A and B are shown apart, each in its own frame.
Chain A
Amino acid sequence: MKDNLYQYILGIADNSLILGQRMGELCGHGPSLETDIACTNISLDLFGQVRSYYHYAAKIAGDGRTEDDIAMLRKEREYVNVLLVEQPNTDFANTMARHFLFDVYHFLFLTELKKSKDMTLAAIATKCIKEVSYHQRFSSDWIRRLGDGTEESQMRMQAAINDLWTYTDELFHQTEADKAMVSEGIGVDVTKLKAAYYEKVNTILEESTLSVPESKYFQRGGKMGIHTEHMGFLLAELQYMQRTYPNMEW
């Protein structure tokens, strides 16, 4: 029970940590000042949420590790985020498409997590969902603006959606910890979110004059700790300070 709960919390929190790191990379590099600030604001929200989750995970683990240790000092195989969130920022269409494909899931997921029997997780979800509703508005808005924009922006947004589509199915894949927590009434049965997810995503894509990819080939592995080649580079940057100056604080 304890191990499953710990692992289950990481399964939620790692997605926000890694996506938060990706969004944070845009600090000083956003396409406009307002967008730059928006992306870093979102990153800050995600890191804030992550602190609540890891703080709880550290308490469950009870082995002296802190929230920072859990965030910064695991090896690549020990991170269980989905492959989608670790994909790199290439062009802005890609960055927004990745964020949108995760936001729609995140919102549906938190809506269910609010009903968890675990009071701490329910409280965190209730807090986070208010923020995530803003994230979802922001990314959906960019899908529409770029999709239904110029020929160039539409071409890029369609390419981004096509590229990232292969990572969407993993969101609805259950791990052993997921199954155990669902049976305890603590976890969310992600398989049940799939229909609502694709309905919402497809609606927004269609509104944005984009076509829904038809490919049925999907990648998975992140939830089992098997990541894409991008993850190592991401962690190198994320963990640099703690690895170079162990235990440093500020």
Chain B
Amino acid sequence: MVTTEQNIDPKLIPILEAVSDPEIPVLSIMDMGVVRTAVIQNEIVKVQITPTYSGCPAMDVIGDDIKKALEDAGYKSEIELILSPAWTTDWITPRGRKALEDYGIAAPLGAEADKDVLLHGKRLVKCPQCGSTNTKMVSQFGSTACKAQFQCDDCLEPFDYFKCLK
């Protein structure tokens, strides 16, 4: 049985919250759910992070950014990349979802609705610009591995949809 719980020392939360995803700068890595463990052991902060997608090129940068942020706060740290339990879009916090929407990226729907929009062309994804659900998928793959490309048929703006990963 694997635990899906996070283990993060409350003292470290403000430091980690200041680190953002390099590809989505409005989104803190804490709201993204990629930090699974951050504990202080023998004056060293041990951090475990998990990738959103296996090939996500942001992970190396996130690791370096965490190290730098902790160093600025006076901590030495060790960063470890873990694969299990595998990241899911359910770990994005409500605040994270709001940050995505404000930034112009539609937040992931539930797994079933996700299949409906990506496979059967149903119009369920809300346009982050005008709020209309009169939107269509342009491509299952978007500007990064985690997103699909959509377009709004009302305001005509193209936008990214953060794909559901479970």
Contact = CB atoms under 8 A, between A and B. Distances in A.
Interface of A: 34-35, 37-38, 41-42, 44-49, 51-52, 119, 122-124, 126-128, 130-131, 134, 137-138, 141
For the residues of A in contact with B, the DSSP-based class is helix
B55 A46 contact: yes
A49 B55 contact: yes
Interface in B38-94: 51, 53-57, 83-88
Contact of A123 (B83, B138, B142, B145): B83
A243 B14 CA distance: 46
* Residue of B51, B88, B141 contacting most chain A CB atoms (<10 Å): B141
> In terms of DSSP, what is the predominant structure of the interface of chain B?
loop
A124 B86 CA distance: 9
B145 A45 contact: yes
A119 to B, nearest CB: 8
Contact of A48 (B51, B139, B143, B163): B51
Interface in B1-55: 51, 53-55
A37 B143 contact: yes
Contacts of A128: 54
A131 B164 CA distance: 11
B145 A130 contact: no
B3 to A, nearest CB: 13
Given A34-B138, A47-B55, A130-B166, 17 more contacts: A34-B139, A34-B141, A37-B142, A41-B145, A44-B57, A48-B51, A123-B86, A126-B83, A127-B83, A127-B86, A128-B54, A130-B86, A131-B145, A134-B141, A134-B163, A137-B118, A137-B140
A134 B119 CA distance: 10
Interface residues of B, number: 26
A217 to B, nearest CB: 35
B41 to A, nearest CB: 23
A47 B145 CA distance: 12
Q: Which of A44, A52, A122, A126 has the most CB of B within 10 A?
A: A44
B139 A35 contact: yes
A44 B83 contact: no
B135 interface: no
20 contacts: A38-B139, A41-B144, A41-B145, A42-B141, A44-B57, A46-B55, A48-B51, A48-B53, A48-B54, A48-B56, A51-B55, A52-B83, A124-B83, A126-B85, A127-B51, A127-B83, A127-B84, A130-B88, A137-B140, A138-B140
Contacts of A134: 140-141, 163
Nearest to A20: B55
A131 B166 CA distance: 10
Nearest to A129: B86
A29 to B, nearest CB: 16
B5 to A, nearest CB: 17
Nearest to A134: B140
B124 interface: no
B165 interface: yes
Contacts of B142: 37
B51 A37 contact: no
Contacts of A47: 55
B54 A45 contact: yes
Nearest to B57: A44
A135 to B, nearest CB: 10
Interface in B138-166: 138-145, 149, 163, 165-166
A132 B57 CA distance: 18
Contacts of B55: 44-49, 51
Contacts of A127: 51, 54, 83-84, 86-87
